[in-house]
Amino acid sequence: MKKFDLACLIDDDEIFAFGAKRIIEMSEICNELKVFNNGQEAIDFLVPSLDKFDDRPVFILLDLNMPIMDGWEFLDSFTALAPKRSAIIYLITSSIDPADLKKAHEYSSVSNYIVKPITKEGLLETLSSDFE
């Protein structure tokens, strides 16, 4: 499976973020992992930093419901910036609302929609279905 230079986890739930961080680290899918509490923190880091990483795309796990800048606002901002580097974005959320799933499909940068909680096996299965 492809190994990413950078993975980002954007989620304000500290307990989920702790567990997801451990899962990502155990999965060995990236060289570096950055964790952000909201979309604005992620935008502030990603915009000036994307060119520092090699040609492989950046992998992002994005929660939808967060303060300051939620997942939808992050997607709108990130898309509008049109970064030169590609990003593979997975929405991770506890929402099972069909409207959220439909809206997620409107973003070409969103690869998949994952309902919480996540597991190592589930994450690797999702990634392998997209990258093998």
In whole angstroms, give the CA distance from residue 49 to residue 93.
Answer: 26
Q: Which pLDDT tens digit goes with each residue over 61-106?
A: 999 999 999 999 999 998 887 666 678 899 998 878 888 888 888 8
To the nearest 10°, report the CA torsion of 58, 16, 25, 129. -60
Per the structure, the count of domains in the chain is 1
4 pLDDT higher than 90: no
Asked if the model's pLDDT at residue 132 lies above 70, the reply is no
Which residues, in sequence order, are bridge partners of residue 88? 59
Pairwise CA distance, residues 71 & 101, whole Å: 13
Give yes or no for residue 120 having a pLDDT over 70.
yes
User: Over pLDDT 70: what percentage of the chain?
Assistant: 87
46 contacts 79 by C-beta, under 8 angstroms: no
pLDDT of residue 51: 66
CATH of the domain at 42: 3.40.50.2300
Whole domain around residue 89: which residue ranges?
A: 4-131
- Give the range with max mean pLDDT: 30-39, 44-53, 108-117: 30-39
